[in-house]
Amino acid sequence: MAYLIRPLRRTLSSPCHRALLLRQHPDPTTFLSSRNYISDMRKSAFEDNMLRLLRKEIRYEHERSAPKQPITRFSSFSVDDRPGEQWIRLKRKFGDKEDITIDATMFDGSVPVSNPGESKDDEQLHMTFIVNISKGDGGNILEMVCSAWPDTIEIKRVYVRGPDNRTSGHPYLGPEFEELDEELQDSLYEFLEERSINDELAKFLHEYMGNKDKTEFIRWLETIKSCMEKK
pLDDT of residue 114: 76
pLDDT digits 0-9 by tens, 182-197: 999 999 999 999 999 9
> How many Å apart are CA 15 and CA 13, to the nearest integer?
7
pLDDT digits 0-9 by tens, 36-58: 655 666 667 777 888 889 999 98
Spans in the chain with pLDDT lower than 50: 1-12, 21-22
pLDDT of residue 44: 72
> How many Å apart are CA 146 and CA 216, to the nearest integer?
24
* DSSP string covering 71-125: P-EETTEEEE--TTSSEEEEEEEETTTEEEEEEEES--EEEEE--TT-SS-EEEE
pLDDT of residue 189: 97
Count of alpha carbons within 13 Å of 11, Cβ hemisphere only? 5
Residues in the chain: 231
> CB–CB of 103/124 below 8 Å?
no
